[in-house]
Structure formats: C-alpha cells, structure tokens
Structure 1
Amino acid sequence: MSRHGPRSSVHDRTITDVETLGRREWQKASGYNRQVRVENAFFRYKSIISDGLRARSGGGREVEASLACRVLNRMIALGKLESFAITR
C-alpha cells in the first residue's frame, strides 16, 4: 500500500484488482464501462449541442435538455450499422 494517504490506497487497490481479475473482468465488476459511456454522452452533448443551457426558467431548461437528448439519440440511431447473420 501507498504512504500518500487514502486516495493513493484506492488507486493501489484498483491496480491490484486489475492485476487479479484482468482488465476486462475488472471493468465489468467495477462498472467502469457504464461510467465511460456516461462521460462520453456528456462529451457529445457539450461538443455538439452546447456547453450550457440557454433557457432561463426551470421548465424551459427541462424542455431544452430533453430536445437535445432526443437529437443526440436520433443522430446515434442514424449512424448505427445494422448487422445480421448470413445463412448458407
């Protein structure tokens, strides 16, 4: 364990877990993949839509965020590839 305090001990434990479980299993067990997806969604929202909301009222902000999410979801749906099994 590290001598540098609680943050370092968490880091050390994570490294130990990755070495023990393997990177892929650690990602599943820790929820890392979900965290990455959420962070990526926020990045897309901020870079494509905007870094902030323009509406002033609470209701307006809710509508604005909802519409922006629908736009992003539509863009993702249009860009997804369709895959299917080829039978012989």
Structure 2
Amino acid sequence: MTDDHKYLESLIQSADIDKTIEVLADTGYDSNNTYIILENKGIKATIAPPKNTKKAYMQPRSDTINYIKEKGYHVGRNKNKYGRRAIIENTIYRYKSIIGTKLRSRKWDNQNIETQLGCHILNKMTNLGMPQSVKLT
C-alpha cells in the first residue's frame, strides 16, 4: 500500500492532458511534490490540506494553508468550491450502488462500452428523479 499522491503522475498520464485544467483531490494527494507536478503541467491544484498542516514550500499550497489559517477551514473550502468533490464522490457511490463495483467484461473495448452504458443509465435515472428547486423570497 502506498500514499495516494504517489499515483498522481500515472493518473495524469492516463488522462487527456490537453483537456485537464484542474485537479480536485482530497487530502491524500496533498504534498509539495503534487503541487510541483501539477504546476509543471500547467494544471491548477484544488486540494484540501490536512487540518494539522503547519507550513508548505510551494506557493499555491502555502497560500491555501495560510488562507485557511486566517479565515477558517470552511471559508477556505467555499472559496475553492471544494464541495464539488463531494458531488463527484456521491456520483461514484450512486454508480457503484446501481451498476456494481466490478466490470463484467474482460476485454478492454467491452469494458469501455460497459462503463459508458453505466454512465448513460445513471444520467437517465438522475434526470428522471432530480427535484426542481426554487429559491423562496
């Protein structure tokens, strides 16, 4: 077993680097090395540091830590719209609950199609069941 941030480079290599403008990650990816990797690739890092983090050496990371110390943890999360990560996590949870945690196909092309079908089904179900919200005045 290893730390999440040690997988970052391989994850970025498997992604479409030309379309990747931001990495939104949990505290497992927080490290000076993560910020170096992302900065070198021109990718914005939105990573919540652990609550007990004292100091950082990379400018964007130290700015985040100092802002949270000054304004508070929740204000820092709101500033960076970190709540988007919870929405993503919830979507993955829904996918696994409805579709399952394993792919049934063995061939890569079939796994790709299976994943796309699962996402299509999840999107359909979400569109059918989402409530209409209105702001009360």
**Which interval holds the TM-score relative to the shorter structure?**
0.5 to 0.7
| Bigger-Rg structure (1/2) | 1
Larger fraction in strand: 2
TM-fit CA distance, 1:22: 6.3
TM-fit CA distance, 1:19: 6.6
TM-fit CA distance, 1:11: 1.9
**Stretches of structure 1 lacking an aligned partner (at least 5 in a row):** 1-5
Aligned CA RMSD, in angstroms, stands at 2.8
TM-score by length of 1: 0.67
TM-fit CA distance, 1:40: 0.7
Runs of 4+ in 1 over 4 A off after TM superposition: none
TM-fit CA distance, 1:27: 2.3
Structure with greater contact order relative to length (CA < 8 Å, sep ≥ 6):
2
**Stretches of structure 2 lacking an aligned partner (at least 5 in a row):** 1-30, 32-48, 54-64
Partner of 1:34: 84
Out of 97, 117, 123, the residue aligned to residue 67 of structure 1 is 117
Partner of 1:3: none
TM-fit CA distance, 1:29: 2.7
Aligned length: 76
Larger fraction in helix: 1
- CA offsets per residue over residues 52-88 of structure 1, 9 Å max, x none? 1001111000000000000000000001233579xxx
- CA offsets per residue over residues 18-41 of structure 1, 9 Å max, x none? 771562x42233342121111111
